[in-house]
Amino acid sequence: MAADTAHAVLEVDLGAIVANWRDLGALHPSGPVAGVVKADAYGLGARPVAAALYAAGCRHFFVAYLDEAIAIRDLLPDAMLAVLSGPIPGTESDYAEHGLTPVLGSLMEIEAWAGRGPAILHVDTGMSRLGLSAAELDVLERKPGLLAGLPIRFIMTHLVASEEPDEPVNLRQCQVFAAARARLPKAPASFANSSGILLGPDFGTDLARPGAALYGVNPAPGRPNPMRPVAALRIRVLEVRDIPSGASVGYNATWTASRPSRIATGALGYADGFHRALSGKAKACFDGTPVPLVGRISMDLSTFDVTDLPAVRPGSWLDIIGPHQTVDDLAALAGTNGYEILTSLGRRFRRVYLPA
């Protein structure tokens, strides 16, 4: 039997992703929820995730870029597969060839797409990023012929601060979006993202677009996470060494042993998405017991104080993401969000997919 050569294993529970999708659907009775699988399904694998969601009945998918859509189109033969970034000039024929739905957010994109098939219109209601501006809506209202013959699948916008339920901008965007839709041809709407689904029926439309919540990131920061965790990460111990009191560990000697200590070096670094900002803050877990991360995280390695755990040996496994330390926990320690933690997960892990 061949030796297990994995230095780290990322376990992705496809069943939990599907369950999260169904739970979000129950919270959005006004219309179905899509599967947002951009950025390689938030770092967890667009092809297996998209296939699992499709098998569960999802028929609306979103990615960020054209190449992402082409890479999974074969898995979603009769599903709407939309590209949020809009067509780069000259790529319109690629969208048509693969049956993709562009999200059009400018007059230039609308004009270039004319006569090529269905599309989604994106209205900017406060993000000031992508989407039709107020001035462009004025033009479309004055020149309705620009949209003549364009099958509009949805009119969409993007929430600015949906994770903050008391933020006034949420209601303001509702009002701006309603006014914008009144100026455009009648078409279904798509409004809520992951956190927006939790804002209530005023944010319910014909299609919601959850992303991070599908993958276990808490869409309600500061409150208990209603989503199931979907990812678990464990790493190998490469070496364990004894050091005397007063010895330092890692680059720049940021940690010094206050007692004779045992240090386990694990196969995980910032090249794997274990952010350097977590140095001295995160932890691992061995057989249910937390062990502190000590010293600076380096590109490929991290070091843990296992002085009180004599059973830790080279080849042992340390849990990094799991019940003891969630994606959101790591995000809080790193001063970021769970989206960045997930999408940073490296490609050097062995990936194991639990079936839906």
Euclidean distance between CA atoms 345 and 234, whole angstroms: 12
Q: Which tens digits make up the pLDDT trace of 321-353?
A: 999 999 999 999 999 999 999 999 989 999 999
CB-based contacts of 74: which residues, under 8 Å, 6+ apart?
none
Whether residue 192 is predicted with pLDDT greater than 90 in this model: the reply is: yes
| Cross-strand partners of 350 | 9
Count of Cβ atoms closer than 10 Å to residue 115 Cβ? 8
Whether residue 2 is predicted with pLDDT greater than 80 in this model: the reply is: no
Euclidean distance between CA atoms 316 and 238, whole angstroms: 8
Q: What is the pLDDT of residue 7?
A: 95
Q: Which tens digits make up the pLDDT trace of 55-95?
A: 999 999 999 999 999 999 999 999 999 999 999 999 999 99
CB-based contacts of 334: which residues, under 8 Å, 6+ apart?
275, 277, 278, 281, 340, 341
Spot the catalytic one: 38, 215, 270, 353.
38
Spot the catalytic one: 42, 54, 251, 281.
251
Contact 233, 239 (CB under 8 A): no
Q: What is the pLDDT of residue 3?
A: 63
Give the relative orientation of helices 46-55 and 14-26 as an angle to the nearest 10 degrees: 50
Structural domains of the chain ordered from first start: 14-215 (3.20.20.10), 231-325 (2.40.37.10)
Count of Cβ atoms closer than 10 Å to residue 4 Cβ? 10
Whether residue 1 is predicted with pLDDT greater than 60 in this model: the reply is: no
Q: What is the pLDDT of residue 5?
A: 85
251 is catalytic: yes
For the whole model, what pTM was predicted? 0.96
Strands (DSSP E) found in the chain: 8-13, 35-36, 60-63, 80-83, 101-104, 119-122, 152-156, 189-190, 231-243, 248-249, 255-256, 261-266, 283-286, 289-294, 302-305, 317-321, 350-354
